[in-house]
Amino acid sequence: MTSDSSGSPGSPGSSDSSGSPGSPAPLAASGAGATSGPAGSSGSSGSPLPARPRLIATDLDGTLLRDDKSVSDRTIAALAAAEDAGIEVFFVTGRPARWMDVVSDHVHGHGLAICANGAAVVDLHAGGELVRVRPLPRPTALDAVTTLREAAPGAAFAVELTTGIHYEPEYPPFHKDPGATVAAAEKLLGGTDEDAAAPLVKLLAHHSTLTPDGFLALARAAMGDRVSITRSSPTALLEVSGPGVSKASTLALCCAERGISADEVVAFGDMPNDLEMLTWAGTSYAMGNAHPDVLATASGRTAENNEDGVAMVIEKILARL
């Protein structure tokens, strides 16, 4: 397993959509409106397809997965056909590795997935074995807890380790974990025994009264570039990673290792934690159900997740080969 304690993706220079696989700069939630066209319309529009993409990067929840967390038969067939055509497929998600069973049967070839918003790369062919970790340093996480408690009184925290999640009593356990420890974040970040040595991949912060985008803007203003902060939940739940860690920067690392440029990547997403990835990729698609900032940022738009929007674009790509 490779561990990067600095949070830096290790590539020289900054990145844009021109093909450099460096670390993209974080994007702020701007509140921009959606691009033209009905968000729920069928089909895809807006983005010219690359002549021959070499990699497809797709988010899961709200993107590849339907709302019931299933993968449709049409999508399964499209993913397999892409791999058969020599196009690598990467699942790029905010989910921790332990929640990847929903797609583990549908990953082909390399078997790798990017989890925890870029903090971990796992081998799904090996049961979710960690291949790379880009952890959030615990002192930095403690700084974030202190700062966010002051900036947003009432915030409650959880810590996502490579070994599992633990949370404060006030934190809503969206997904109950029987192995979770319930205690103050400061104590959880101190850790004991196995947890003390386990890499911290995300700090989660929830607020019960602030709006999701309002909490995100407040947290980013308070923390600056000391951490990376994003969100993917419809509630005011923030996801805090190490500085420079994002879906985009880890995807750029994986692509650089394969000699794949950003121009050869097609990416799909629906929420603010996808923005950097959609900006970095040469071709990007917002789902019809996407957040307004995602609709405004992506170079194209496809149908909603429940209408197999990812599969629609993959089918068009394959039809042109």
Of the two residues 275 and 21, the one the predictor is more confident about is 275
Residue 99: predicted pLDDT: 87
289: helix, strand or coil: coil
Ranking 84-88, 100-104, 180-184 by mean pLDDT, the lowest is 100-104
How many residues are listed for the chain in this entry?
321
| pLDDT beyond 90 at 169 | yes
145-166 in b/e burial notation, b at 16+ Cβ within 10 A? bebbbeebeebbbbbbbbebbb
Residues 86 and 54: their CA atoms lie apart, in Å, by 7
Residue 321 tokens read as 């080969």
Question: What span, in angstroms and rounded, lies between the C-alpha atoms of 96 and 59?
Answer: 13
All structural domains of the chain with their residue ranges:
51-134+246-320, 138-241
Q: How far apart are CA 244 and CA 248, in angstroms?
A: 10
Tokens read off for 263: 């121009």
User: Strand pairing partners for 285?
Assistant: 268, 300
CA–CA gap between residue 158 and residue 183 (Å, rounded): 9
Tens-digit pLDDT profile for residues 57-96:
999 999 999 999 999 999 999 999 999 999 999 999 999 9
What's the pLDDT tens digit per position in 3-61? 664 443 333 233 333 333 333 434 433 333 333 333 334 466 666 777 789 999 999 99
Q: What is the DSSP string of 237-286?
A: EEEEE-TT-SHHHHHHHHHHHTT--GGGEEEEE-SGGGHHHHHHSSEEEE
> For the residues 92-105, what does the mean pLDDT come to?
89
Give residue 43's pLDDT: 61
How many whole angstroms separate alpha carbon 298 and alpha carbon 285? 5
Q: What is the pLDDT of residue 296?
A: 97
The pLDDT value recorded for residue 128 is: 83
Place of tokens 């042109």: 320
Of the chain, the percentage scoring pLDDT greater than 70 comes to: 83
CATH class of 138-241: alpha beta
Share of the chain above pLDDT 90, in %: 71
pTM of the model: 0.86
Write the class of the CATH domain 51-134+246-320.
alpha beta
